[in-house]
Amino acid sequence: MVDVPATAVLVHSPYLGPASLRPLAGALAALGHPVVLLDLRVTVNAAPVHQRLLGVFADAVEDALVEGDLVLVGHSGAGPLLPAFADALETPVRGLVFLDADLPTPGRSWRDDAPAERMAHLKAISRDGLMPRWDLWFAPEALSAMVPDVRLLEEIVSEAPEVPLAFLKEPRPTVAWTGPCAYLRLSPSYDTAAAAARELGWPVVELDSHHLGAVTSPEEVATALVPLLSRR
């Protein structure tokens, strides 16, 4: 019997849009791997963000009419929500892959584990309860160094939503996940998360890239991702 590969469901960060993973989706498809790229931006414009995210995620996967098992791939801020995303689906989920992402902290909020000065900064730059677009959290040259292609960067930036500051205070869903997990580290900023994944016994692959490497080096990221998608 032929082993049908699980479909990779690419889940973008709540602070970005599908453009941040679209080149990776194309690279996976070029390698012959089934892939679905979701667009969850509509869910993050009002609280409670977690509840809205989970509902729209489940509907989007159902609307994609995927056959067979799934592997969920969460980038950046989507990582902590992967167990809850898996739990929201009727379709069997074979595994979770964390792509330069934080690990789950069930029942804890982002604020609970973030440096106090980081939370204070985001609160200071927020207006009317909304954080500015993700690209405005940093100096402009930081993003242009990662994505020198102006067209690509503009596409990513144009999709970035203004997320309620309350999202950082919402406790993350408490969901148990006992299936396979893997970690693909792209940037030094996620060394700690990658080390924690390794301590948990997960397969960990490290690339010498940056946080938006799925945009600028999609073939390299896809090649590293495929063996992790194939694990059981």
The model's pLDDT over 112-170, given as tens digits with 9 standing for 90+, comes to 988 899 899 889 989 999 998 888 888 878 888 888 899 999 999 999 999 999 999 99
Q: Look at strands 7-11 and 204-206 and give their pairing.
A: unpaired
Q: Which CATH superfamily is domain 7-105+174-229 in?
A: Alpha/Beta hydrolase fold, catalytic domain (3.40.50.1820)
The yes-or-no verdict on residue 1 having pLDDT over 50 is no
The yes-or-no verdict on residue 2 having pLDDT over 60 is no
- Which token pair is 213? 């490497």
Q: What is the per-residue pLDDT across 143-158, written as a single tens digit (0 to 9) for each?
A: 888 888 999 999 999 9
Cα(126)–Cα(151) distance, rounded to whole angstroms? 27
